[in-house]
Amino acid sequence: MSDLLPIVPASPDATSDAHCEDSPRPLPPRAKVDGPRGRYFIHTWGCQMNVHDSERMAGQLEHLGFGQADSEEDADIVLLNTCTVRETSAAKVYGKLGDLRRLKRANEKMVVGVCGCLAQQERDALFAKAPHLDLVIGPRAIPQLARHVESILETRQRVRDTAPWTETVGAGSEESLRQSFPKAFLTIQEGCDKFCTFCVVPFTRGREKCRPLDVLLAEIEGLADRGFREFEMLGQNVNCYRDDAGHDLADLLLRAADIRGVERLRFVTSHPRHLSDRIVAAMAHEKVARALHLPVQSGSDAVLARMERDYTRADYMARIARLKAMNPDIALQTDIIVGFPGETEDDFQATLSLLEEVAYEGVYSFKYSPRPYTKAAKSFEDDVPESVKADRLARLQAYQDQLQAPRDAARVGLVEEVLVDGMSKRSDAEVAGRTSRNRVVNFPGAPDLIGLLVPVRVTEARAHSFRGEIAGPTR
């Protein structure tokens, strides 16, 4: 067993923002490479950083000689890249581990691994809970995946590698099997020092660590040469990016924007407290997307204080005002937690009024669930009943839909530049892509448009996307 550094005990109160989705996301289909040594399958839960970590893992496995399987039944190596940010995310991983126990009974040679945040959180306890596991590997140990897989295949001994801070963040990134052409994800910062009281991330992703600017620019240049046109900078606290030479996110955005072939830059996820004027000014650059994910979590100062978010509603609104002054058409998205300990109906009403005041283009909302190691789990009673949490979540989502529908309808007739990234889910005669404001648009077109920027006139606003038609020359 590779038993490296024990997890360094972090401060008892902790968190960050990371943009999450709960559904498992197998890597998207692509031309299958037949691997001489067998096939792998990766399940991915969680944020964009996890999606990119899976690309990094897939790249290493293909270098070892494994090809991508169509399903876990068909695979010799199955990896679960996990998220523990909410209870529901963790529960789904345990469900999948149960399925894999049956598969492994039928195929004893199968290598089963848990990677990412659950691995870091549970460490050896995972082997006890799932005796059929061969590999437990934390987020910072991803560059070691190939070595650990070789060792398991050779010795049939289990491996755990959950050393949180020994590796350089993003090492081996250039090996990634990139699956989101023409967009490339780039981890620029990992970990979080904010320690909001509800969040487990500082305990699973460790302290903040940044990659050097020159390394990142070189990687962007190489990817732009290969035809990638959009770059999404990833970090749990991405706007706290600062390398050892003192470069910040504004420097990175402006330098990256100068690279030939780079057309669009995004970054996720930002902490409102650290959205500096320099970053806001850099966002005025034409190549920086007109969209920002800025999690607020609550519109009530009392709740924000218990969350230890380090800003008030007025502070948050002041940043929104600066962003809108610089760029009136910016599309803002946010994350909201309902039912945080002590949240009253008045607190919740304050959150609803914030939705109206900010006029978000997208709201990701979650019921609070206590997470291991966090201050909220230790110090506050989870006192909002489940039925009240569910009711507030439903009311919040309905209110946001009601606010957003007329704003979306008002965009019909406008021409927006769409970067085409694939075929539409509904029709083989249509392609799909995103606007600079990060909204999906489907429109009639052939696969040769993938990777191109197309001016598209919006013809219809749907629940979560738009339809349109080509309105000018592509580039």
> Residue count at the site for ligand SF4 (CB under 6 A)?
15
369 binds, among ligand 5AD, ligand SF4, none (CB under 5 to 8 A by kind): ligand 5AD
Among 14, 18, 288, 431, the residue binding ligand 5AD under the rule CB under 6 A is 18
Among 15, 50, 176, 298, the residue binding ligand SF4 under the rule CB under 6 A is 50
Supply the minimum distance, in Å, between the C-beta of residue 224 and ligand SF4: 26
End-to-end CA distance of the chain: 53
In DSSP notation, 50-83 reads HHHHHHHHHHHHHHHTEEE-SSGGG-SEEEEEE-
Helix (H, G, I), strand (E, B) or coil at 204: helix
- Non-local (6+) Cβ contacts of 446 within 8 A are 431
Give kind and range of the element (H or E) at residue 203: helix 201-205
Q: With contact defined as beta carbons under 8 Å apart, do 272 and 319 qualify?
A: yes
State yes or no: residue 467 binds ligand SF4 (CB under 6 A): no
Task: Return the residue matching tokens 């149960």.
Answer: 98
Supply the minimum distance, in Å, between the C-beta of residue 276 and ligand 5AD: 20
State yes or no: residue 20 binds ligand SF4 (CB under 6 A): yes
CB under 6 A: which stretch of 46-54, 94-102, 350-358, 392-400 binds ligand SF4?
46-54
Supply the minimum distance, in Å, between the C-beta of residue 82 and ligand SF4: 7
In DSSP notation, 245-314 reads T--BHHHHHHHHHTSTT--EEEEE---GGG--HHHHHHTTSTTB-SEEE---B-S-HHHHHHHT-S--HH
- For residue 220, what are its two tokens? 């962007």
In DSSP notation, 359-412 reads T-SEEEEEE----TT-HHHHHS---S-HHHHHHHHHHHHHHHHHHHHHHHHTTT
State yes or no: residue 201 binds ligand SF4 (CB under 6 A): yes
Supply the minimum distance, in Å, between the C-beta of residue 125 and ligand SF4: 17
204 binds, among ligand 5AD, ligand SF4, none (CB under 5 to 8 A by kind): ligand SF4
State yes or no: residue 417 binds ligand 5AD (CB under 6 A): no
Q: Which is nearer to ligand SF4, 35 or 116 (CB)?
A: 116
Give kind and range of the element (H or E) at residue 414: none
Supply the minimum distance, in Å, between the C-beta of residue 84 and ligand 5AD: 9
State yes or no: residue 138 binds ligand SF4 (CB under 6 A): no
State yes or no: residue 130 binds ligand 5AD (CB under 6 A): no
Q: With contact defined as beta carbons under 8 Å apart, do 79 and 40 qualify?
A: yes
Among 14, 77, 79, 83, the residue binding ligand SF4 under the rule CB under 6 A is 83
Helix (H, G, I), strand (E, B) or coil at 12: coil
Give kind and range of the element (H or E) at residue 123: none
| Buried residues in 8-24 as b, exposed as e (16+ CB within 10 A) | eebeebbbbbbbbbeeb
Residues between 98 and 117 with contacts to ligand SF4, criterion CB under 6 A: 116-117
Q: Which is nearer to ligand 5AD, 268 or 441 (CB)?
A: 268
Supply the minimum distance, in Å, between the C-beta of residue 18 and ligand SF4: 3
State the Cα–Cα distance between residues 12 and 255, nearest whole angstrom: 38
CA 431, 432, 438 angle in degrees (round to 5)?
160
Q: Which is nearer to ligand 5AD, 127 or 348 (CB)?
A: 348
Residues between 351 and 370 with contacts to ligand 5AD, criterion CB under 6 A: 366, 368-369
C-alpha dihedral over 391, 354, 196, 122, to 10 degrees?
40
State yes or no: residue 420 binds ligand 5AD (CB under 6 A): no
Strands (E), 36-195: 38-44, 46-47, 66-68, 77-82, 111-116, 135-137, 159-161, 183-187, 189-190
Residues between 280 and 319 with contacts to ligand 5AD, criterion CB under 6 A: 295, 297
CB under 6 A: which stretch of 15-23, 257-265, 415-423, 447-455 binds ligand 5AD?
15-23
Supply the minimum distance, in Å, between the C-beta of residue 339 and ligand 5AD: 8
Residues between 86 and 105 with contacts to ligand 5AD, criterion CB under 6 A: 86
- Residues lying near ligand SF4 in the complex (CB under 6 A) are found at 18, 20, 46-47, 49-50, 83-85, 116-117, 201, 204-205, 236
Residues that bind ligand 5AD (CB under 6 A): 17-20, 85-86, 198-199, 295, 297, 335, 337, 366, 368-369, 371
